[in-house]
Amino acid sequence: MPPPSPAELQWVRTPQQARSQDTLARLLDAAEAMLEESPWDQCTVAALVARGKSSIGAFYARFPDKDSLLQHLHQRRSAEGIHTADAALERERWQGVQLAPLIRAVVGFVAQDYVDHAGLHREIVRRNSTDARFRERSAHVAGHVVRLIALLLEERKSEIVVDDTLRAADMVHRILFSVLDQSVQFVDRPPGPVALTQPQLVEAIVRAMLGYLGHAGATARSNA
């Protein structure tokens, strides 16, 4: 059975439950879009409400300040992260797929999301270092993802040398997101002396993860 490609994996948006949520959804969408253009501290309430087709009065009826809007945006993103992980890492989706192509597809999918939403990820990384509420939500999502990865590793223990699949899942999760978080922090220059293309970065992450797991595919020579 061929593995799903990164393009076949989709980010799951939270459903809009009622028309009363329209204004909130538009403001959150506006904030998310503006983060791809400017740092949060340069986004003004006036620009947010104009982008969200709302009004200053409607904004302040819901939020005491723009950082409260950012908290709601992270809440939405975290909920979507849980739903996306459930869909992307569903065991039935990967039945019959070996570990290396599974990891390569998932890494490619997550890496592309970091390209498409670099500004949002950059702000989340920054806030995680200063805001306990951000850290708690991010840690909750990470824990959920790690447990799903552990289930996939458990079914492929014959391909790896590690025994504790939960610990192994935690480490491959750290490898993936530490590298991608660093990549969005250094938006205008490579973090080291070598500039990697997106395919090269994905391949390097895949090989690092497979190497930690002791998978034979980690030693395969790559032309990426």
What local confidence, expressed as pLDDT, does residue 21 receive? 66
Rounded-to-integer distance, Cα 147 and Cα 151, Å: 7
Least confident of 43-47, 57-61, 85-89, 166-170: 57-61
Distance, in Å, from the CA atom of 212 to the CA atom of 28, rounded to the nearest integer, reads 38
Among the ranges given (13-22, 77-86, 87-96, 126-135), the one the predictor scored with the smallest mean pLDDT: 13-22
Q: What is the DSSP letter of 97?
A: -
| Numbered ranges of CATH 1.10.10 in the chain | 15-63
Intervals of CATH 1.10.357.10 along the chain: 66-219
Q: Which CATH number fits domain 15-63: 2.60.120, 1.10.10, 1.10.8, 1.10.3470?
A: 1.10.10
Given a cut of 90, is residue 223 above it in pLDDT? no
**Predicted confidence (pLDDT) per residue in 31-82, tens digit:** 999 999 999 999 999 999 999 999 999 999 999 999 999 999 999 999 999 9
pLDDT at residue 16, as a whole number:
55
Q: How far from 185 is each of 30, 127, 142, 175, 179, CA to CA, in Å? A: 22, 12, 19, 16, 10
The residue with tokens 């699949």 is: 165
Give just the sign of the alpha carbon dihedral 66, 68, 74, 80: negative
- pLDDT, mean of residues 163-177: 97
The pLDDT of residue 216 = 82
What tokens were used for 15? Answer: 């459903």
Q: Which two three-digit tokens encode residue 151?
A: 């289930």
The pTM (predicted TM-score) of the whole model is: 0.88
11 band by pLDDT with thresholds 50, 70 and 90:
confident
The matching CATH number, chosen from 3.40.630.40, 3.40.50.300, 3.90.1710.10, 1.10.357.10, for 66-219 is: 1.10.357.10
Amino acid occupying residue 8: E
pLDDT at 123: 97
